[in-house]
Amino acid sequence: NAGVTQTPKFRVLKTGQSMTLLCAQDMNHEYMYWYRQDPGMGLRLIHYSVGEGTTAKGEVPDGYNVSRLKKQNFLLGLESAAPSQTSVYFCASRKWEGLIQETQYFGPGTRLLVL
């Protein structure tokens, strides 16, 4: 049981390049999230998914796209990277328990540097 894993761990991009970050979870969780973490700002929600085939925007969605083709995977795409997207990206997942606030489980993060 690996929990939440993220690929890659670190990446350097040039402005305008594209890339995809992969998040995988083996806990059969319905909900998945992508956050970005910037110094002094805590974590901010980029996009989320409440189930296979569904996605929705979070607080800071601009410049990102996501897809959830399989329940266990949640992909975050950058079509044209910008220096402002230099950040640490975290994926999280949780199971659905109605109104009970279940714990979100986080991956180890992906460090992205855009030059």
Binding residues for another protein (CB under 8 A): 4, 31, 40-45, 48, 50, 56, 90, 92, 94, 96, 98-109
Q: How far is the CB of 15 from another protein (least distance, A)?
A: 25
Map residue 78 onto helix, strand or coil: strand
Q: Are 24 and 9 in contact (CB under 8 A)?
A: no
Nearest to 111, CA basis, from 36, 42, 55: 36
Q: How far is the CB of 73 from another protein (least distance, A)?
A: 17
CB neighbour list of residue 37: distance below 8 Å, 6 or more residues apart: 43, 44, 87, 88, 89, 90, 109
Measured from the CB atom, the residue of 14 and 101 that comes closer to another protein is 101
Measured from the CB atom, the residue of 32 and 78 that comes closer to another protein is 32
Q: How far is the CB of 14 from another protein (least distance, A)?
A: 24
Q: How far is the CB of 42 from another protein (least distance, A)?
A: 3
Q: How many CA atoms lie within 13 A of 97 on its CB side?
A: 8
Measured from the CB atom, the residue of 17 and 104 that comes closer to another protein is 104
